[in-house]
Amino acid sequence: MKIVRGLAPMQRWATQQTQNKKSIGFVPTMGALHEGHLSLIRRARGENDFVVVSIFVNPAQFGPQEDFSRYPKPLQKDLSLCRRAGADVVFFPKAEALYPTGYQTWVTVESLSKPLCGSFRPGHFRGVATVVLKLFNLVKPTRAYFGEKDFQQVRVIQQMTSDLNVPVQVIPCPTVREPSGLALSSRNTYLSSKERTAAPQVHEALVSARESLKRGHPVPKVLKETRTILNKTPKSKIQYLEFVDPKTLVSTNTPPGRLMLAVYVGQTRLIDNLAVNTAKLSPDSSKRERDKT
């Protein structure tokens, strides 16, 4: 496994593979890798000639009061996990190379960046869209893999890629969870042992909201009840719980859709989301959908 720090060597390597008609699978990460990231690397491994993992804690996507400086950076462990999961290249650029003095160009995906996390983390998705485009230009991937735990991020990146005609296939991958249901996140390491016990209840509340929606309960009622449950969970304080159209991220009262949640457990902000597909409960309409295709 090759470790590349410089931008020019990374881009040269990528150009060479492209000229040799080799496919490149790309997994951009901020390090502190867990089984969620590894599932992306393994999938990339299965679908491409080469696999590149980037490790870069992107300052541009953190707000001034956020956890940029204390974000975990277990580099040696990360490298060994990348190697075992089958990465060919780990791209580990320096912040001053990606954002040199005089840097001033930003990519904004307007509507999709506004609701949900966007309304609580101004500038976050601008930072995400910009760094991902930069990494795409440096790594020149055929396919790029992103976890659906960050569902809004996936939508922002899909839209950016399509709007800007970036020749990269963006592949959303299922959230990996602990047996308790808690979505894996590098930020779970911030949780105290008491908070770790409370955290799975967040997912349970979301699952039970999904079941209510599937049973046909009205969206506003389900959201209200779930918010109450979540705020009663020890150590938990909801930031948002919304039911949205999965393409536009606009709130909707009509399933199917996606339940989107951000919650503080102690001082740690966790996000999660679930698809609510009502097909199973309305066999007739789902049959009609099938007959159409």
Catalytic residues: 37
| 19 binds its own copies per the rule CB under 8 A | yes
What beta strand segments (E) does 58-104 contain? 89-91
- Indicate the SS3 state at residue 259: strand
Residue 112-131 contact track with its own copies, rule CB under 8 A, x = bound: x----------------xx-
When the beta carbons of 154 and 182 are compared against its own copies, the nearer one is: 154
Shortest Å, Cβ 113 to its own copies = 9
Of 110-118, 202-210, 253-261, 274-282: span binding its own copies (CB under 8 A): 110-118
Which of 6, 9, 63, 167 forms a contact with its own copies (CB under 8 A)?
167
**Contacts of its own copies in 147-166 (CB under 8 A):** 159-160, 163-166
- Smallest separation, CB 151 to its own copies (Å): 17
Mention every residue, 6+ apart, whose C-beta is less than 8 A from residue 248: 111, 112
- Check binding of 132 to its own copies (CB under 8 A): no
Of 63, 77, 80, 103, the one binding its own copies (CB under 8 A) is 103
To the nearest 10 degrees (0 to 180), the angle between helices 200-214 and 219-232 is 160
Asked if 249 is part of the footprint of its own copies (rule: CB under 8 A), the reply reads: no
Cα separation, 146 vs 151, in Å, equals 9
> Could you say whether residue 104 binds its own copies (CB under 8 A)?
yes
Angle at 67 between CA 156 and CA 94, to 5 degrees: 75
Q: Does 33 bind its own copies (CB under 8 A)?
A: no
Eight-class DSSP state of 199: T
Q: Is 156 left (phi over 0), alpha (psi -120 to 50) or beta?
A: alpha
144-178 as b/e, with b when 16 or more CB fall inside 10 Å? bbbbbbbbbbbbbbbbbbeeeebebebbbbebbbe
User: Which CB sits closer to its own copies, 151 or 190?
Assistant: 151
Q: Which residues bind its own copies (CB under 8 A)?
A: 7, 11, 15, 18-19, 21, 102-112, 129-130, 133-134, 137-138, 159-160, 163-167
